[in-house]
Amino acid sequence: MKKYLSLLLAFILCVTLVACGSSDKATDDKNSGIADNENEEDKLETNEGNNGIIAGSIVPSATITEVKNDDVTIVYSLKNQTEKVKQFTFRTSQKFDYDLYSKDGKLIKRYSEDKDFLQAITYLTLKQGESYDIPIHVKNLKAGHYKLIIWLTAESEEDYKVHVPFEIPHN
């Protein structure tokens, strides 16, 4: 009877060891397959909309597109250089603001000073590699040198300011 009991215990021990050993291997194979699939999905996600992504931040810029008589047109742009969709939240319909300074640093005008904006929460969503452009027209300027400081008015950790020096020539 002891002999049969010893054989039975040895058999159960062998089956258990074999089952555990193959179970770990099967689990490892399954996990590595899952990890490989996840890595492939990550690669796909990071390559989608990856056109032009350089640094991994929201990049503000401003370009003077026209200087005509006493007017200037500047395009303020935000480009999503991250690998994630970025959403901005605004408490009003106002998306940007600017300060216009004279050559000697005196504040001439703040855009929002004489404006009324709709009191409504609005959103701006920028996908990866996408840009948002805002044309800004500053009118009735005398000949001279100026600096425009433009920023985003969203509720965020950053205001994405840009400084744009420009000149209105003498006619």
- What are 102-149's pLDDT values in tens digits? 999 999 999 999 999 999 999 999 999 999 999 999 999 999 999 999
What is the domain extent for residue 134?
58-168
∠ CA 77-86-117 to the nearest 5 degrees?
60
Q: Per residue in 33-89, pLDDT tens?
A: 433 333 333 333 333 344 555 558 999 999 999 999 899 999 999 999 999 999 999
Q: How many independent structural domains does the chain possess?
A: 2
H/E segment holding residue 78: strand 71-80
Q: Is 52 a domain residue?
A: no
Global pTM reads 0.66
Which residue blocks in the chain are alpha helix, DSSP H? 2-47
- Give the pairing of strands 122-126 and 86-90: antiparallel
Please tell me whether residues 25 and 99 are part of one structural domain.
no
